[in-house]
Amino acid sequence: MANHLLKVENVDVFYGVAQALWDVSFSVEEYKITALLGANGAGKSTLLKTISGVIRPTKGRIVYSGNSLVDCRPDKAASFGISHVPEGRRLFASLTVLENLELGAYLPNVRPLTKESLERVFGLFPVLKSRMRQAAGTLSGGEQQMLAIGRALMARPTLLLLDEPSLGLAPIVVKLLFDIIKVLNRDGVTILLVEQNVRKTLEIADYVFVLKTGVMRMEGQPARLLADPEFRQAFLGRIG
């Protein structure tokens, strides 16, 4: 029986008076890569932010490893083992690469392991090691994304939320990025991936959910979705 690490049930989210999510439910299976696809404005980022505690749902339940994430502030959610790499990365531009990473291991349970965590991250992203003392703002787009992910990894999360990591990156870098996501998953990190790059996402995802204007429309394994005409129409245009 698959263990669902994260369960989102019947969640409504509002921005002021505008509703962004309607009765959204889905779950993330442990040790798998779950993907959340959808067009711009579908609510994917909103959903991630609701999970990590930045936004509060007005209705519904979110349970993570037995802990309720509703009414949870981001720092509390982080302490449960959730690391959120936000849209646009949100690095501390004026701090160095090393400092950004060190801050990733801020939480008291992972701080003692900072040194080992740093080694692991440098092992995954050697370029970060070479730019260790550079200000984060001076890095290239791809390097910044790696730093953002590295920073999130410093907390040794059990669940990694990735919000559009491929945005704005060159195809070569995107390929590298997705390879690393696979590696991370192999090492035991559960991943919830929000993406607009449908093709590459389907290549690595174990299970996919599709969000459309705030409503959960479809779900399924990549192969099944690829065969689904509605899915193909929405995401793959008229290609065969």
Select the span of 25-33, 64-72, 88-96, 191-199 touching another protein (CB under 8 A). Answer: 88-96
Long-range contacts of 95-98 (CB under 8 A, 24+ apart): 95/135, 95/136, 96/132, 96/133, 96/134, 96/135, 96/136, 97/128, 97/131, 97/132, 97/133, 97/134, 97/135, 97/136, 97/139, 97/147, 98/132, 98/133
Nearer to another protein, 131 or 151 (CB): 151
> Under the criterion CB under 8 A, does residue 22 sit at the interface with another protein?
no
Give φ, ψ of 27 to 5 degrees: -145, 160
Q: Is 75 in the site for another protein (CB under 8 A)?
A: yes
Give the CA-trace dihedral at 144, 147, 151, 154, to 10 degrees. 170
Instruction: Record the tokens describing residue 109, joined without a space.
Output: 């349970």
- The site that binds another protein (CB under 8 A) totals a number of residues, namely 27
Q: CB 87 → another protein: shortest distance, Å?
A: 11
Q: Is 95 in the site for another protein (CB under 8 A)?
A: yes
Q: Which of 60, 74, 168, 220 binds another protein (CB under 8 A)?
A: 74
Tell me if 156 contacts another protein by CB under 8 A: no
**Considering only 37-45, 52-60, 184-192, 205-213, which stretch makes contact with another protein by CB under 8 A?**
52-60
For binding to another protein (CB under 8 A), which residues are involved?
16, 52-54, 73-75, 78-79, 83-84, 86, 90-95, 99, 102-104, 106-107, 111, 151, 155
